[in-house]
Each structure stands twice: as structure tokens, then as C-alpha cells.
A and B are shown apart, each in its own frame.
Chain A
Amino acid sequence: MVERRVMEGSHAVAHAVRLCAPDVVSAYPITPQTHIVEKISQFVADGDLKSEYMRVESEFSAMSASVGSSAAGARTFTATASQGLMLMSEVLYNASGLRLPIVMSVANRAMGAPINIWNDHSDSMGVRDAGWIQLYAEDNQEALDMTIQAYKIAENQDVMLPAMVCMDGFILTHTYEPVSIPKKEEVQEFLPEFDPEVKLDPQNPVTLGTVGFPSDYMEIRHEQYQAMENARDIMPDIFKEFEEKFGRKQHSLIEEYKTEDAEIIIVSLGSIMGTIKEAVDELREDGKQVGAIKIKAFRPFPDQELRDALQNTKAVAVLDKNITLGKKGALYTEMKDTLYQAETQPQMTNYIIGLGGRDIPRQSIKNIVKQTKENLNSPQTREVRFVDLKEEK
């Protein structure tokens, strides 16, 4: 009998961490992530989790301590959001370059200024080149599941890269939903002990973090590139194994929703997918050929899966909860790169949505679909559209 309880997303992640039993949790609180590490500290205090819980004085320290503990061969967890992630950013590159499979929850929150504690993806998208695997959860169950999967992917011998599990701040972290909690033994079977080939060990001294001279740096970078490619290859198998073990349907790097015969497909990631699916259901009832695709993994990016899924559609609406100033939405530019290699290119429009926690009701999604359909029948006037701007009502 699976244990099923109602809890907030933060606590679902904390339970996943308890089950993965990291040796070290290095934590610094920041809204809207705080409840994750708070709950973990309670598990440690109550004896439900035997981790070394390090209280550090900043996010920079949290990530630096994570690098140290992971380099010593300890399974490591940390969590952050927004400005905290930016304070870590220098160390993020080191964690990846040193090939340390740290797992971190990111409770996605907008970047200031203006200061804002609510949800969008500008924080994790801002560090998309740091060499971390990035997964985006749709709901609390997926946030829990992805945390366990992230360790399995990150610690794979052919990958050895750190992983971020991104979940929308407040929308998931503070919202209560029913969550199935796997059994400890099952997670132990799924996730073997962490025993890296290379680690800091006084019995067998090595240097990690050496200087990479021009004569060697490029080869080391290339190995890192290859590791991320390997991650893309092994992830479908890991999702499949998870599905078999825990009995919950797992999609691959993307999830297709009613894309069969869809003329218009909405592509996005994170919790907005729930709203999008509801909007698709309603539009389908009205006889509209609309579908949706959820991007589960943003790094590595699921190029081929997307090309296959979008080969017969006329138009794609990409919904970005971020904006690259001076360009377009981050997901949109990635999608265009992917589809440049496709046999046929659908028409594409980029919709910037929900920045700084702006609510996105179903009607807004329907308006997006309507706009995308209009674009098909007339020359596209604007490729990037900010949705629900006050002056555009």
C-alpha cells in the first residue's frame, strides 16, 4: 500500500531528499525555497534522516560546501531560488566542471529589480549555461519523483554532472496536493550507493580543481559536453525504470498531450502545464485541433524528441516565463534552433507569460491559441508578445 498524503511541494521534495539520504545537506534559506531545507532540518533533528546538516552563511557558501562534500564522495543536497542562485553562480560552473553530481532544488522565483518573490523562470534560465542538468516539475508529485531521478541521472558513471530540479515558487512549493511517498527500500533499490571513482580521500591523495592550461582545458570541456549528451541518452531508460519500480507513468524528456492531429501545439514547462492541459481539453471539446508539449528536461535539451513530436503541426506557440532582454524567451530561441534541423518548420510565436508571478488563467491560454491561429492566416506582425500587459487589454 503506497503512502499517500496531502502536502506542499516543498515538503514533497524534503521527503524525496529523506528517501535519497544524502550524506550532507548544505543549506541557506531564501523565499520561496525555505520550507524545503526547514523540513529537512526537522527530519535530521528528529532522527529520520542521518545527514550532516550544514548551516552556512550565504548561498555562495552553501554551494561551496556542496562542492567540498561532493568532492569527498558524499551524496549532497542543497536548494535555493532567484537571487540566491545568482550568488551561487560562480560556484555552479565549478560544480559542473569538477563533475560533481550535486542535486539542488530551485524554487523558481523572479529576478530583481524590482524585487519580487513570486514565480517565473528568469533565475534558472539565467544559469542555463553553467553545465547543470535542468529538470522542470509540473506538480508536487513530479517534484518529488524528479528529485530521486535527478540523483540517479547525475551519479551515473557516464554523466557525473550536477542536476537542478526546478519547481515553480509558491505555485508548487507552498501549494498542498496529494503526493505518493515511495518506500525507503524501493528508493534504495532504485538508487544505488554513491561511490564515485574520483574523490578526495586522505588514504589515496589526489588534487581536484587543478589549473586547466590552454593545452588541456578544451579536452576537459569536451568531456563535459559529452557527459551532457550521455545524460540525454540515458534519461529515457531511467524514467522507464522509475515507472516500472514505482508504478507511476513517466514520460521521456518531453510529455506530449493530445498532439495527435494537432494543428497548433503549445510548448512550455513547469506548473503552467496544468492550466495549458485544461485549456487544451476545453478547446478540444469545441472541436479545435490543439495539443501541448511539456518540456521535462531543459538541459540536456530534447532536440530529436521535439522534432519528432512537431513534424506535422502547422503552428507552435512557445510560452516563456522569462525574457532574454535583447533577444526573445529562452525556451523559444532553443526551440527555433531545434526546428531549424527539422524537415518542415511550423510557424512559431513566442508568448512571454507570468513574469514576477502574474497569474495566467485558462482564458489567457485560449487567447494565445486564438492569436496563433490568426498568425497562420496573416503575415506575422510580432514574433514576441507579452501576454496580458495592462495597456494591451
Chain B
Amino acid sequence: MVDFAGKAEPGTTKKYKTGTWRTYKPILDKEACIGCEKCWEYCPDSCKIETEYDGDIIFDTDLDYCKGCGICAEECPVEAIEMELDEK
């Protein structure tokens, strides 16, 4: 049940996961990722997270907020990201 007239307490945006708007989601080939940061730079919603994989720095996606725009997949120089239909 929503609050009266759509009122919201402070900070409630944190609870709101906008990733549900997605149609496609990025799938990262962790082996192929070279950690170049390009996707982190291009992501319009700051959804790329620096993380570690097998001793290397790689960039994966925060799926709570990723809108599935596909820019990261487009820009990846080694084609390590593939967009696939996000069945809900």
C-alpha cells in the first residue's frame, strides 16, 4: 500500500531498484574482460562495479540499477559483453 497521495519518507529512493525497467541485460565474459574501464566510463547510470576476478581487475554490472541500454556491450573493445533478453 502506498502512502497518502504518494508521500514518501526521506531516503526511500534507496529502496527503489530501477533495474526492473530493463528489457535486456548485459552478460559479462569474465575471462575475456581486460579491465580497461571503458564500460565504466560510458555507462550512463553508473552501474559498472570494479571487482576482482582470478587476481585481475574486471568491471561487472550492478543489476539493481542497470537499464539494459547496451552501451557497454557496444563500447567494449574485446566484445566481452553480450546483451540477452532479461526474462522476468
Interface residues of A, Cβ cutoff 8 Å to B = 97-99, 160, 197-198, 205-212, 216, 219-220, 223-224
Contact = CB atoms under 8 A, between A and B. Distances in A.
A207 B7 contact: yes
B1 A208 contact: no
Contacts of A208: 5-7
Contacts of B6: 97, 208-212, 216, 220
Contacts, number: 41
B9 to A, nearest CB: 6
A216 B12 CA distance: 15
A219 B1 contact: yes
A99 B9 CA distance: 17
B8 A207 contact: yes
A116 B6 CA distance: 40
Q: How large is the interface on B (under 10, 10 to 19, 20 to 34, 35 or more residues)?
A: 10 to 19
B2 interface: yes
Interface string B5-20: 1111110100000000
A210 B4 contact: no
B1 A207 contact: no
Nearest to B10: A205
Nearest to A213: B16
Contacts of A205: 10
Contacts of A98: 5
A313 to B, nearest CB: 41
B1 to A, nearest CB: 7
B8 A206 contact: yes
B9 A206 contact: yes
Given A216-B2, A219-B1, A219-B2, A210 B10 contact: no
A134 B74 CA distance: 56
B8 A99 contact: no
Contacts of A97: 5-6
A210 B1 contact: no
Contacts of A206: 7-10
A289 to B, nearest CB: 49
Contact of B2 (A160, A220, A224): A220
A94 B80 CA distance: 47
Contacts of B9: 206-207
Contacts of B2: 212, 216, 219-220
16 contacts: A97-B6, A160-B5, A197-B4, A198-B3, A198-B7, A207-B8, A207-B9, A207-B10, A208-B6, A209-B6, A210-B8, A212-B2, A219-B2, A220-B5, A220-B6, A223-B4
B16 to A, nearest CB: 9
Contacts of B5: 97-99, 160, 198, 208, 220, 223-224
Contacts of B8: 206-207, 210
A220 B3 CA distance: 8
Contacts of A197: 4
